[in-house]
Structure 1
Amino acid sequence: MSTAIKQDIHKDNPTEETLVERAKAFVPMLRERAAEIEKNRAVPADIIAAFREAGFFRILQPARWGGYEMNPSVFYKVLMELGRGCSSSAWNAMILGVHTWEFGLLDSRACEDVWGKDDSVIVASSYPPVGTYRRVDGGYIVSGRWPTSSGTDHGQWAFLGMTLKAEDGTPNDRIAMLVPRSDYKIIDDWHVFGLAGTGSKSVEVKDAFVPEYRAHSTVDYRMSDRGDMYLYSFQQVFYSAVSSSIIGMAQGAVDEFIRQMRTRVNSSNGVRAALSPYVKDRLGNAQARVRSSRARILHIAQETTRYVESRQLVPLSERVAINLDIARVGRECEEAVMLLFKATSARGIYLDNPLQRTLRDVIAASNHITQNADDTAGILGGYLLGEPLPPMLFSRDPSPQ
């Protein structure tokens, strides 16, 4: 399909408001199906198809390839709504939807490989650099087993992480390689206590050829002629997407807590639970944590957009601080949900109470590497004190300043 035809099909792009309203409309259905999704350890194909039809996977997709090429904040707001209904569904929407942004970093030949015949194709991933490679003419021969590829049953391709090394064996780049479904096997090893419905199985590759043009650096942040919306750093776009889905989960817990406490009566004295000052205090403090997390992610997007829309890269000092701002979302949302859960008493531990599932999901999600507020705080503190930054995080340079 020619680029001109693709752009004509999608010329009536939905607005931000339309996309967010579509996401809100999914919440009741997702809430009803969350238990089923967890039990089946996968988000069903009909929900992924509905997300595709709603345009969620096109939000970050380059316009040249049939997408809306919108500001990442639109995608984040959609995830914040979907998470209120089903954590695992929002997580799949996040993972499968953020990858379309990566194509703005890739050679057009890679885009043609994936979207040349069907620009609705979606892509899974596993970024841990656990595979092996050897260089050959025009690319790499790769092998390995990559864990936690969320929603991988729905992807027709996958981005897989790799550390490239210099001749002396020292790391000199972190890249993501794009591999077709025909080149990897899915291994069903996803047996977990939280986010069980994400279907985050492992993928295994044996001696697959990956052309060099189907790879991009996840740390080499520099200016190029790519579009404005692709001038953010990979870390900011991807990490903020993870945090946005967690914010949605935590807001869903607040919603559920309100529903339960409005009608609940204290069994020991017959007084409505909503009249308890402790219930109200926990609810207020939980909501404040969620709201501040939401505001922080959207503020980051707004502030960095000023740079990219004027064709500037986001300064290193900002990126180092932003990483901690993003990472703290997991911790604060986990605290918010725990505040609420502790006020549910014994009723909260039953498997038919949605709050316990959301608590488990948020705990699991906040264990994601993008939510590592401990190491990230130390990195920022050290940077402010003049220490060198860790290699292969903000730049290929061993010690960027």
Structure 2
Amino acid sequence: MNIAVADARIPSADELVERARALIPMLRERADEVEKARCVPKETIDAFKQAGFFKILQPKRWGGWEMTPDVFWRVLMELGRGCGSSAWNMMILGVHQWEFGLMDPRAGDDVWAKDNTVLVASSYAPFGTVTKVEGGYVLNGTWGTSSGTDHGDWAFIGVWLKDEQGRPINRLALLVPRSDYEFLDDWFVFGLAGTGSKSLVLKNVFVPEHRAHSMIDYHLSDGADTYQFPFGMAFFGSVSAVMVGFAQGAIDIFIEQIKVRENINGCPQAALDHYAKDRLGNAVVRVRSARARILQVAAEAASYIARRELVPVDNRVHYTLDFARVGRECEEAVLLLYKALSARGVFLSNPMQRVLRDTLVGANHITQNADHNAEALGGYLLGQPLPPLMYGLPKA
């Protein structure tokens, strides 16, 4: 048995951020190896466990610290500076602990009764089919892009629950053990290659009712404050936070290289080049603005939750775009810096090209879709209905 006892003293948010920052050199050193292996090594996941990062959002019932999402986000902002794939795995495998605060406690007991360090992966996109049966659900199909699944002993599977006419009426996450699915190694990509985001194949898998929860039915519960945030905020914000880490990593690399680089265009020192300085400043302001917006959203939402109020839908529509814009702004920041490196940036020996590729792929994540979310917000402000099954269940 490996039932860890909750730490006698829960570290502060600042302490956890410092632990994350201390891991950046190791993550940078291993980043090439991670990409080539197409998988984050167990040693890195163990380092994250040792630092306590998987306890941040985990309920106290199972030895966690029940901290708020912004603490987790600040940690991801640091880890992303070191290795995109490793930080992405930490984001995916670490956000699911929060999810158990929304569920029947029996689900958490199923996973952590013997070992509360067990990790859970996911594939939320509703690729396969679900059938409602007595006592639960039956899953069939192939679910793609399950990041970090090599390290998960369970996985959340996303589905549309439909009525008898085939119309979606709810979006569910169903928890299944590793013994109930097979891996399909199809993650051959040009960025975030080390996330190991394989597909999961399920055949007639029964999931009991207590291992299911709605991803869109937002309501207050009796749980700790952290579990009163909307599901979309917790997950969207986590992706955006790790994107900030990627872009800050690009800034770190750029400064290191430009400080010592000699140009061949007549400027004896690259750090004196007006073009390089302009691009750096514009990249920094984009990343700082994205970071500040993420944390401001967390603070605003927390003010409602502290009063045991739901975060209003008026706010949540804005927050979704606030998060989605982060990917685009971080993408812009990294491209600014990459272009300023000229030919030096194209060599595989230069980590900037990997950060660029990781950022481009991360910015294509559904949570970073600024276009459709801008349309949704604009339409809502003009009195038009919100996209169905995104901000709540259909009205009866």
TM-score (norm 1): 0.97
- Residues 391 and 398 of structure 1 are in contact (CA less than 8 Å); yes or no, is this contact kept in structure 2? no
Deviation at 1:174, TM superposition (A): 0.2
Alpha-carbon distance between aligned partners in 2 of 1:287 and 1:275, rounded to the nearest angstrom: 17
Q: Which amino acid in structure 2 is aligned with residue 104 of structure 1?
A: G
Superposed, 1:343-362 pairs within 5 Å as: 343-362=340-359
1:102 is aligned to: 99
Aligned pair partner of 1:326 in 308, 323, 328? 323
Q: What residue is the counterpart of 1:292 in the other structure?
A: 289
The reply on whether 1:52 has 2:49 as its aligned counterpart is yes
Instruction: After TM superposition, give the deviation of residue 328 of structure 1 in Å.
Output: 0.1
**Aligned with 1:342: secondary structure?**
helix
Of 138, 141, 159, the residue aligned with 1:141 is 138
Could you tell me whether the CA contact under 8 Å between 2:152 and 2:178 is conserved in 1? yes
Q: Which residue of 1 aligns with 2:116?
A: 119
Q: Give the 3-state SS of the residue equivalent to 1:119 in structure 2.
A: coil
Match of 1:61 among 27, 44, 58: 58
Matched residue, 1:234 = 231
Taking the TM superposition and a 5 Å limit, the aligned residue runs for 1:307-322 are 307-322=304-319
- The answer to whether the Cα contact below 8 Å between 2:17 and 2:78 also exists between their aligned partners in 1 is yes
Cα RMSD between the aligned structures?
1.4
Deviation (angstroms), 1:131: 1.5
The partner residue of 1:391 within 367, 385, 388 is 388
Counterpart of 1:186 in structure 2 is: 183
The 2-side partners of 1:304 and 1:236 are apart by: 9
1:270 deviates by 5.5
Q: Does 1:222 align with 2:219?
A: yes
Gaps of 5+ in 2: none
The answer on whether the counterparts of 2:84 and 2:192 sit within 8 Å (CA) in structure 1 is yes
Q: Does 1:254 align with 2:256?
A: no
Question: Unpaired runs of 5+ in structure 1?
Answer: none
Deviation string 1:74-128 (CA, Å, 9 cap, x unpaired) is: 1000000000000001000000000000000000110110011111111000000
Alpha-carbon deviation of 1:224?
2.4
* Alignment check: 8 A CA contact 1:96 1:151 kept: yes
Take 2:330 and 2:105, find their aligned partners in 1: how far apart are those partners?
39
> How far apart, CA to CA, are the structure 2 residues paired with 1:167 and 1:249?
45
Secondary structure of 1:260 counterpart: helix
Q: What are the Cα deviations for residues 289-338 of structure 1, in whole angstroms up to 9, with x where unaligned?
A: 00000000011111111111211110000000100000000000000000
Task: Describe the superposition over 1:336-358 as per-residue Cα deviations: whole angstroms up to 9, x where unpaired.
Answer: 00000011111110111111110
State the TM-score, normalized to the length of structure 2: 0.98
Residue 33 of structure 1 corresponds to which residue in structure 2? 30
Query: In the aligned structure 2, how far is the partner of 1:362 from the partner of 1:288?
Result: 17
CA distance in 1, matches of 2:395, 2:38: 40
Equivalent position amino acid for 2:376 in 1: I
Q: Distance in 2 between matches of 1:224 and 1:82?
A: 32
Equivalent-residue separation in structure 1 for 2:7 and 2:346 (angstroms): 47
Measured in 2, the distance between the counterparts of 1:107 and 1:121 equals 18
Q: What is aligned with 2:88? A: 91
Return 375-384 or 162-171, whichever deviates more.
162-171
Identify the residue that residue 305 of structure 1 maps to in structure 2.
302
How far off is 1:398 after superposition? 6.1
- What does the per-residue CA deviation read over 1:154-183, in whole Å, with 9 as the maximum and x for residues that have no partner? 000000100001122211000100000000
Q: Is the 8 A contact 1:392 1:398 kept in 2?
A: no
1:195-210 aligned at under 5 Å gives the runs 195-210=192-207
SS in structure 1 opposite 2:278? Answer: helix
Q: CA deviation digits over 1:7-45, x for unaligned, max 9? A: x54332221121111100000010111111111111001
- Identical amino acids, percent of aligned pairs: 60
Runs of 4+ in structure 1 displaced over 4 angstroms? none
Structure 2 counterpart of 1:156, from 146, 153, 156: 153
- Distance of 1:9 and 1:227 partners within structure 2: 16
